[in-house]
Amino acid sequence: AQKITQTQPGMFVQEKEAVTLDCTYDTSDQSYGLFWYKQPSSGEMIFLIYQGSYDEQNATEGRYSLNFQKARKSANLVISASQLGDSAMYFCAMRGSAGGFKTIFGAGTRLFVKA
């Protein structure tokens, strides 16, 4: 079975500082994809970043980077230079062949950025 665990229900960060949101996963697949999404209070899920299981380099997209540690099965999201608009719910997700290509999501981490 596949599982995503996000152990931080809520986190606070000061504006302009960096923050790391934790994500660990469990899968028997050799090939899988890892995704992070942001969900503001409006409800829409916004894609942030993708990491493939065979990608040797950590993915980066602007202020977002993914700290991928395959042996530890972790895929932490790092947001640099936090902005007030980063306050939202963040979801880690995985898509694998063992799960029939279903995407499963973690419980999410609510991030609060303080001015």
Phi and psi at 67, nearest 5°, equal: -90, 95
Q: Kind of pairing, strands 24-26 and 32-39?
A: unpaired
Report the 10 Å Cβ neighbour count for 60: 12
Q: Which listed residue (10, 17, 28, 46) binds other proteins by CB under 8 A?
A: 46
Task: Find tokens 């970043």 and name the residue.
Answer: 49
- In the complex, the smallest distance separating the C-beta of residue 66 from other proteins, rounded to whole angstroms, is 13
Binding to other proteins (CB under 8 A): which residues in 76-95?
91, 95
Asked if 105 interacts with other proteins (CB under 8 A), we say yes
62: contact with other proteins by CB under 8 A? no
In angstroms, give the least distance from the CB of 58 to other proteins. Answer: 16
Q: Which of 11, 22, 24, 33 binds other proteins (CB under 8 A)?
A: 33
Nearest to 73 by CA among 102, 46, 51: 51
